[in-house]
Chain A
């Protein structure tokens, strides 16, 4: 684009007198003014006065009616995006097409299964499960009582095989799972609950 001499802009903005411009610059200013004069001619368009007055004489549509009309009228949705972002978006869509996300839960290996712990401790403030799978460390696998009905639950992925475990209630009371069905005596003379995890079928 050819920049116009700043004096032309100043003259057109009325900041300097027109006759101070040299002839070639004055011609540029006059050319633009001639264009403006042509455009300033009122085009042959019919008056909309009657249409407007007829419309305003009718009661304004209610908010609900305007909403309905908005929903049934076609609207243009213009999405402005830099080309770089559109390329990135296309790459993302292609990636998802070729590598779809198939699973949303924990990923299971071929030799793993899901163990579900359920225990009823109506007055407990906290319940955790400890066992051979977490080196008997209390607190690392807490159970949750979402409904506050005294039933505590947790689901975790464990290696397939046999695991010993106990519940730790309120951080200090170790309790065997009364629903376990299988128990084994440990080296300290206590009975641990026994859990058998089978690999998940695929």
Chain B
């Protein structure tokens, strides 16, 4: 195990900014799973999620010095990847890229529980896709990524009361979509 993985975010950022390029790998290992999950849920496409996160992380590396509060690096990284996702969604709206992807199917040799879980996941993904991008983002950040409203404010640039209202609306829309898709 990398002994440097115990370093705090500000310590790792300081090392990277001092020219220790490979230290950025610590931050990737630390935040990549969540960022990939977030992008995949937003874009409903594994390929585009990989592209969005890769582009976002490269951008983060090149602009690391502009991160004013490295102790809040996580929402800062999410903000960059969120912007890449919005760019892809805008291109999808313009018909430039296709984000359609078949829902994950269970392998035939999987057991019954796995098949049921895959079906549940497909149902949830379809319901989530009916939400507007803003509501989808609000629900994912709050309930999937487990962010506080203050962290969400850093990611989205919105005020906390507006985000609370958006999360409430997202919950209601998601419950309704689930009922309609069932």
Name A's B-contacting residues (CB within 8 A): 1-4, 8-9, 12-13, 28, 31-33, 35-36, 38-49, 51-53, 55-57, 60, 74, 76-78
Contact = CB atoms under 8 A, between A and B. Distances in A.
Which size class do B's interface residues fall under?
35 or more
Interface in B96-139: 96, 104, 117, 120-121, 124, 127-128, 139
Interface string B34-77: 00110011000010011001100110011000000000000000
B48 to A, nearest CB: 11
Contact of B172 (A2, A44, A47): A2
Top-8 shortest CB links A-B: A36-B143, A76-B94, A48-B54, A76-B91, A52-B57, A76-B96, A56-B61, A43-B40
B32 A48 contact: yes
A40 B37 CA distance: 7
B21 A49 contact: no
Contacts of A36: 139, 143-144
Interface in B128-182: 128, 139-140, 143-144, 164, 167-169, 171-176, 178
B62 A60 contact: yes
Given A78-B90, A78-B94, A42 B58 contact: no
Contacts of B94: 76-78
Given A56-B24, A77-B94, A45 B49 contact: yes
Given A52-B61, A53-B24, A56-B62, A42 B33 contact: yes
Given A36-B144, A43-B36, A31 B178 contact: yes
B46 A43 contact: yes
Contact of A56 (B40, B50, B58): B58
7 contacts: A9-B167, A12-B143, A39-B124, A39-B143, A40-B144, A49-B29, A52-B28
B22 interface: yes
A48 B93 contact: no
A76 B90 contact: yes
Contacts of A74: 96
A44 B50 CA distance: 11
Given A43-B37, A56-B21, A78-B93, A35 B164 contact: no
Contacts of B128: 39
Given A35-B174, A48-B32, 13 more contacts: A1-B176, A3-B172, A8-B171, A9-B168, A31-B178, A45-B40, A45-B46, A49-B25, A52-B57, A53-B22, A55-B58, A76-B96, A78-B90
